[in-house]
Structure 1
Amino acid sequence: MAHDHVHETHPNIVKRLKRAEGHLHKVIEMFGDGRPCLDLAQQLHAVEKAINEAKKTLIHDHVDHCLDTAANGGRSKSTGHVIAEFKAISRYL
């Protein structure tokens, strides 16, 4: 079921991503306005940081809830599967 992977942090992550999306649209407008490269780089860095923070929150939430639950017998995943899943998701940190 799709709802099995909805966690308490997801709505906040979505809000953060929507803010980053709006900010990215503003940066694109800045390019059209001929803004200085330093301003553009600073604003792109801010968008990148917001997206990275959303990703980090998602991964930490997954480790804290999904993998912890599986590792402690709360799900039908084997230990090997839990370790493989952790290795796979940690590549995105």
Structure 2
Amino acid sequence: MSHAASPDLLNRLKRAQGHLAKIIEMVSEGRDGLQIAQQMQAVVSALDKTKTLLVTDHIEHHLEDLVGPLPRATREELAKLGELARYL
């Protein structure tokens, strides 16, 4: 399985897909704009977090391809960079 197809990543995307389907339903029902906007923000936030997971996983995967298995301390430092990437 590709590192990009991790179960966590797929679960997050499926959850966002379900929320997006609910938003489409809300729009077709003519629901309140504030409720729709709140749900949209939740989907955007979920996708942003999923993107960060994908990017940090991708970086870690390719680093291991270049230098071999990463020690625990290096993984911890990479996790810090992943947290920083949330603000991009």
- TM-score relative to the length of structure 1: 0.65
Check the 8 A contact 2:12/2:46 in 1, yes or no: yes
Check the 8 A contact 1:24/1:47 in 2, yes or no: yes
Greater relative contact order structure (CA < 8 Å, 6+ sep): 2
Residue 9 (structure 1) shift: 7.0
Report the counterpart of residue 52 of structure 1 in structure 2: 48
Residue 61 (structure 1) shift: 0.5
Report the counterpart of residue 59 of structure 2 in structure 1: 63
Q: Does 1:41 align with 2:69?
A: no
Gaps of 5+ in 1: 75-89
Considering only CA atoms, is the larger Rg found in Structure 1 or Structure 2? Answer: 1
Say which structure is richer in helix: 2
How many residue pairs end up in the alignment?
70
CA RMSD of aligned residues (A): 2.2
CA distance, structure 2, for counterparts of residue 15 and residue 45 of structure 1? 19
Residue 14 (structure 1) shift: 0.6
Residue 64 (structure 1) shift: 1.5
Q: Does 1:14 align with 2:10?
A: yes
Gaps of 5+ in 2: 69-84
Change (3 A) 1:20 1:58: same
Structure 1 ranges of 4+ moved more than 3 A:
none
Residue 20 (structure 1) shift: 0.5
